[in-house]
Chains A and B, each alone.
Chain A
Amino acid sequence: MCDEAILPRRHFLRQAGGGFGAVALAWMEARAQEKSHFVPRARRVIHVFALGGMSHVDTFDFKPELIRHDGQALSGKGKVDTFFGKPGNLLKSPFEFRQHGGSGLWVSDLLPSIASVADELCVVRSMLTKNNNHTPATFLMDSGFTMSGFPSMGSWVSYGLGSETEDLPAFVVLPDPRGEPAGGSANWSAGFLPAAHQGVAFSTRTAEPVKDLAPPAGDDPAARAAGLGLIDAINREDAARSGGDSALAARLRSYELAARMQIRVPEAADLSNESEETRRLYGLDRKDSEGFGRNCLLARRLLERGVRFVQLFHGGAFGGNPRINWDAHEDVVANHRLQASSLDRPVAGLLLDLRRRGMLDDTLVLFTTEFGRTPMTEGVGTRGRDHHPHAFTSWLAGAGVRRGTAFGSSDEVGYHAVEHPVTTYDLHATVLHLLGLDHTKLTFYHNGIQRRLTDVHGHVVEGLLA
């Protein structure tokens, strides 16, 4: 069994002629085939994941009929079967909706900054999902399966396209500074793909953005330098003795790359050189948006330096009081206002910053949640909304995406996705398509099945493409 060297592809392309073992070469060729199936529109992705279930009827999916039927019972939607099993009456959105920009997209006053960049957005108002429970629905949006153990979208993209840089991981995750999502690293697992494709979570709270990047405190630099020399000598002799074992050559190379990561990662994570104006753009000047704003700014810096896929979680554990996510069971006003205050400015700032740097031309921004919220209250007479899988909203922006558009629609109260329903599989197929990957061909054999991000489903949604 040969060891697989999971090193950036460019390295192999350079080394291919130069005495690398036949095994590594064969591996490289097999993988190179999987690179772009056709011309990509996007080269990199930012995925903002609003955890907890952002309400579509209170943000991007304006429903005048809900105003008309406020307080009335829901009817004509078949058997109502909600997560907490106590559906109340219809509740009009407590937020004001207005049309924005040249496109006239409807956005509520909950998200004024994002509304100001409405012309960048391609809003999908006909999303639907298979599960009404946070973690399985999050897994589904993330990996195409409701169970854990499947590679997340970022891992698939890393596997399919590799990294554009040798010095940083291909897939970086930035958890919400308020807390990690439930299940922690299970959300950015590489599943059965080689471990190198898993998301590397950067911490914006500790001095060291990534674990084991720096030597332990008190390590003597002179001894370390001497030791590194010894390691190099030992492994070089070993490789020479082996008569051309490719795994040993790859291990030597892994030390060179590690040394570069040790320099490049802290540099990328250091926001101190960003201008005051930029910091304000991302909301770093305000307490409520500072934490998530830092992550959005860091995301841009990582993409600039060649990271392929950055996933930003907005929201942590699902329970708790007050909740640190969009799970507005008790009161949609209090909950969504609190969440929006930390998300709105940074996300809008990110779009503006990417646009003015020209990065939006080849960067795809994906904004999702795991499901929507019921047009009815949860329990009679409350102001909360329960989980709702049958219709919700996501949006895309940037490379290859139709700007200033609303695609698909839900019914008159936002209960069912009716026009052009878009499943999580369709969304994934479209994201891969924009990256130049055919979702039916990006496969990996595992326990009898050529696995895909899209399971056995998914169609590219042409209507989202520019």
Chain B
Amino acid sequence: MHALSLLLALLGQDDPEGLALFESKIRPIFVERCHSCHSAKAVKLKGGLRLDHPESILKGGDTGLAIVPGKPAESLLLKAVRQEDPDLKMPPKGEKLPDRVLADIEAWIKRGAPMPRDSTGPAGAEFWAFQAPRGPALADAGGIDRFIRAKLREKGLRPSPPADKATLLRRVTLDLTGLPPSPEELAAFLADESPGAFGKVVDRLLDSPAYGERWARHWLDVARFTETHGFEYNKLRTNAWPYRDWLIGALNADLPYDRFTRMQIAGDALEGAGPEGTIAAAFLTCGTWDEVGYKQQSVVMKARVREEDLEDIIATVSQTFLGLTVNCARCHNHKFAPITQAEYYKFKSVFEGVLPGERTVATATETSALSSADARVAETERELAAITAALRAKLRLPAGPAPVARWTFENGGQDSVGGLHAELLGGAKVEGGRLRLDGKSAHARTVPLARALQEKTLEAWVALPTRKQGGGGVITVEKGAGAEFDSIVFGERQKEKWIAGSEGFRRTRDLAALLETAGPGELVHVAAAYGADGSIQVYRNGVPYGDSYAPAPKPAAFGAAEAYVLFGMRHTGGGAAFLNGEIEEAALYDRALSAAEVAASFAAAGHRVSEEDLEAAATAEERARRTILRKTLEEARRGRAGVPPLKTAYVGTRVQPAVTHRLVRGDVEKPGEAVAAGGLAVLGRADLGLTPDAPEAERRRRFADWVADPKNPLTARVIVNRVWRLHFGRGLVGTPNDLGPTGERPTHPELLDALALRFVEDGMSLKKLHRLIVSSETYRQSSRLDPAAAAVDAEDRLLSRFPPRRLEAEAIRDSMLFVSGRLSPERAGPSAKPFSTYNSGGSTYYSLKDGPEFDRRTVYRFNLISGKDPLLDAFDAPDPGVRTPDRRTTITPQQALVLLNDPFVHRQAEAFAARVTAESKGDLAEGVRRAHRRALGREATAEEAARSESLARTHGLKTVCWALFNAAEFLHVR
């Protein structure tokens, strides 16, 4: 053994408090203040001293030992940070370390400088999980058993004998479908003595739709799926369920896991994935959303809220698919894994364009039906408009300047000049040739600009039903989800006045102009011209509204692909941003119109010419053409009205974000260098070939490929471990979201690798993996406790018996429904709502209720952040919105109270009793036997049957059924 290693081995290994001091106080200071010059990552290593590994810390640098364990006075490092010697001052730049830190360092050296022996600084690339899985793949299920037995032999243990058939059937049925076996299934399995009998059962279960329902619920735990936003408003997400249905479908169809992964990270960016891809990518944003935080006015606080959200996405993606805590590197390099802070921001760049919210989810056919119907209307309108313009010219009526985009709202949000079409959102409607906006959530957003805009003019004809409103935007150009915008805004800073709104009022001035006088419904023409010299002039009804002003030497720049136009909303995420009103028409110009041009534009619309005059001016040919066109237009509009509206779902929205910067110490006010999207160097192939301004979708697409690549050493291991955990109650690695240095080490590393390799070989088929695992003798052995084995391996980590376990909350509830015969066959679709809601002060509250109309499988119940179901809650169902890779299994008095008293349990017991009574035609003895068979998956013993029958005779069968729901045997798989 190397002398240093030996010394290290002696230092502090039996001093857990000293180690804790090192990890909590000393190492963080080294990382934060010293590593830039004194670590492997230093651009130029100073003084030959590295403070990133225990060995190098002890070795010291060019000037000798940095620390002498136990002797603070002789330790150069302490002298340097105390800055006692003018020639040896550390850190050389920045503030001196605080006294508290100096005291910690002294105390640590005094204790003997305890440091961990095996976990060095951050672990290196040699850490097991960063190495490619190796060894032979498993040929068959027997392979699993060979690995398990080898470990058992080492401890002098033996596997248990096979479980009896009834127990095995109940185990595998609950395990794969979350429901107990029916008496018919039990009878069939007991009767089938063929060698393939069990295999047939497994195939039947994997083919059952209940399989996807069961395993989707497991995935929802990891995906932190919630159907209320959480935080202050805690609003209901009535259309988040498509993601749950997609999951169930994907699992039932055995979608290969690499595709399953790609779809959830970048489904909306994948070629040919269609609306399914958009729905699958809801994974990214299906957690909580601090809506109020996104919409508040404080710029810094808002940025922090966004950072928290991005951390949540990064944590979820990296823990779910990679089993790594990349989120721990937000403020500094990861303390335990070779993940740099810059890499955290590479991940952030991948997801920077992902925002919470609703979006249209439609098939290509649905979308193209809509867009071709729109195009037909637009083409006709354009031709009609051209003829009308010619006739106006003939009549010497003024014509306005030519915009780059014009929205007449005759038919949806179509741009009648270019391709800048707008999508109606939040309940916005187009009716009677106007865009109707409710002032609450309705707005419209166009596709991204095709060309960059600097100089520009915004223009609109708008009618307000009331002037008692403030903050709503009529027409806006924005980018970065409201990070920068220009908007014509009503009544925001001064009541009943117009302003040119902008982010943080940066280009906004209060205007010396009259209060708005237009009555309800009266059209007003508003325009704002933004000159190349940075000047801004607002106009009302064709004349200047207040003076021109120049807040900056240049106008704001809105780049192609990143910026877009909004109607009815001041900016994304703004407080009170919505306009209550109707927009008759709007236009966008790529230059600042002159006062004369604005006047002309106002006049052009103001001088509406009568149909008779136009007809009179037209030639016979023009008249005929106009008649045909009008008819065509009518048909086109009818056709458009017949196209069903596109569905929306809570799947998140996307923007092209501003370039991502590393944030010094994670502080939003301290941006560092620009960062491009990328992977983790330690996993290889990390450079995704992207520039910092790469298109948002491309970032996620390439990142998803990187994750799903079979060469990624972690992806297959992580999912194989999850599946193993769900079959045996504990993963081969006990921390399923964390295979990194902070997680546990695998109990059977070779088995984990062999399963991972086999999984890749099998085309990443989850169903093949299930089949492989449940076919093993390890899975099929008895769960009976052997005290001798328990003395050696109390937690059964080595699997000398099948580890019995309590069912999850959902499986308990579903089992009750199943045996009582009440389980609703209704699958998929909107979630069951066993509650009423009420609103108080802007927040939504939920009052639970029970009733037969909610007897669907639990996976189809609304996942509420508050107002949790007593049964689910008591049995450890996690809070929605919290990543839960490893549910806990507790035993509490509250569970007993629920099973004894909850109305749901009593209702099911009642139905269960009625069912077995009917089945046994009133024969009580038979009823009791049937109840046992259904609830416990086995025959009642003679004693059990006699006791229950006598009780039922006095107190009714319901009491027996209720007691069976309280049986530990009912609550467990064994």
Contact = CB atoms under 8 A, between A and B. Distances in A.
A247 B841 contact: no
B893 A254 contact: yes
B555 to A, nearest CB: 23
A84 B575 contact: yes
Contacts of B575: 84-85
B787 A81 contact: no
A85 B298 contact: yes
B889 A213 contact: no
Contacts of B874: 195
B356 to A, nearest CB: 13
Interface stretch (B56-64, B71-79, B425-433, B877-885): B877-885
A4 B891 contact: yes
A325 B468 CA distance: 27
Nearest to A1: B729
Nearest to B315: A447
B514 interface: no
B866 interface: yes
Interface in B752-777: none
* Most A-side CB within 10 Å, residue of B865, B959, B968: B968
Given A148-B230, A258-B897, A324-B841, A4 B890 contact: yes
A233 interface: yes
A226 interface: yes
Interface string A1-44: 11111110000000000000111001000000000000000000
A358 interface: no
A238 interface: yes
Contacts of B866: 180, 183-186
A234 B972 CA distance: 14
A136 B956 contact: no
Contacts of A245: 785, 804
A258 B893 contact: yes
A213 B901 CA distance: 7
A319 B841 contact: yes
A130 B738 CA distance: 29
B902 interface: yes
Interface stretch (B166-174, B238-246, B412-420, B946-954): B946-954
Nearest to A198: B873
A227 B963 CA distance: 6
A23 B795 contact: yes
B147 interface: no
Contacts of B299: 81
Interface in B838-894: 840-843, 845-846, 865-868, 870, 873-874, 876, 879, 881-885, 888-894
Contacts of B876: 194-195
Given A4-B891, A194-B888, A317-B842, A448 B738 contact: yes
Contacts of B951: 226-227, 230
A191 interface: yes
Interface string B781-803: 00011110011001100000001
B968 A248 contact: yes
Given A135-B232, A186-B865, A179 B840 contact: yes
A448 to B, nearest CB: 3
Interface string A187-221: 00101101110001000000000011111100110
Contacts of B395: none
A466 interface: no
A149 interface: yes
Interface in B273-307: 288, 290, 292-293, 296-301, 304-305
A242 B785 contact: yes
Nearest to A133: B293
B903 interface: yes
Contacts of A228: 900
Contacts of A135: 231-232, 290, 292
B276 to A, nearest CB: 29
Interface residues of B, number: 103
A179 B743 CA distance: 42
Interface in A246-262: 247-248, 250-251, 254-255, 257-258, 261-262
Contacts of B902: 211-212
Interface in B632-649: none
B608 interface: no
Interface in B791-839: 791, 794-795, 803-806
A116 interface: no
A440 interface: yes
Interface string B325-346: 1001000000000000000000
Interface in A268-306: none
A231 B967 contact: yes
Contacts of A85: 296-298, 575
A194 B886 CA distance: 11
A-side interface mostly: loop
Nearest to A185: B866
A131 B304 contact: yes
A84 B297 CA distance: 5
A378 to B, nearest CB: 11
B897 A220 contact: no
Interface in B704-756: 728-730, 735, 737-738, 740, 742-743
A23 B795 CA distance: 7
Interface in A303-359: 316-320, 323-324
Contacts of B305: 133, 136, 146
B898 interface: yes
B960 A230 contact: yes
Given A184-B866, A215-B901, A223-B959, A4 B845 contact: no
Contacts of B584: none
Interface string B220-242: 00001000001111100000000
A216 B906 contact: yes
B319 interface: yes
Given A135-B231, A238-B967, A189 B879 contact: yes
Contact of A243 (B730, B737, B784, B897): B784
B232 A22 contact: no
B885 A180 contact: no
A235 interface: yes
Contact of A258 (B841, B896, B960): B896
Given A251-B891, A449-B328, A212 B292 contact: no
Contacts of A224: 959
A103 to B, nearest CB: 30
Given A1-B889, A81-B301, A447-B883, A26 B968 contact: no
B20 A441 contact: yes
B338 to A, nearest CB: 14
Contacts of B966: 231, 234-235
Interface in A440-455: 440-441, 445, 447-449
A147 B841 contact: no
A182 interface: yes
Contacts of B948: 230
A288 B845 CA distance: 24
A243 B735 contact: no
Contacts of A92: none
Given A147-B312, A215-B900, A316 B841 contact: yes
Top 7 closest pairs, chain A to chain B, by CB: A85-B297, A184-B866, A320-B841, A319-B842, A317-B841, A448-B325, A319-B841
18 contacts: A1-B730, A2-B889, A3-B890, A135-B290, A148-B288, A148-B881, A179-B840, A183-B843, A222-B955, A231-B963, A234-B967, A234-B969, A254-B893, A258-B896, A441-B20, A445-B735, A447-B315, A448-B740
Given A5-B891, A215-B901, A248-B968, 5 more contacts: A134-B292, A149-B882, A196-B892, A261-B897, A319-B843
Interface of A: 1-7, 21-23, 26, 81-86, 130-136, 146-149, 179-180, 182-186, 189, 191-192, 194-196, 200, 211-216, 219-220, 222-224, 226-228, 230-231, 233-235, 238-239, 242-245, 247-248, 250-251, 254-255, 257-258, 261-262, 316-320, 323-324, 440-441, 445, 447-449, 456
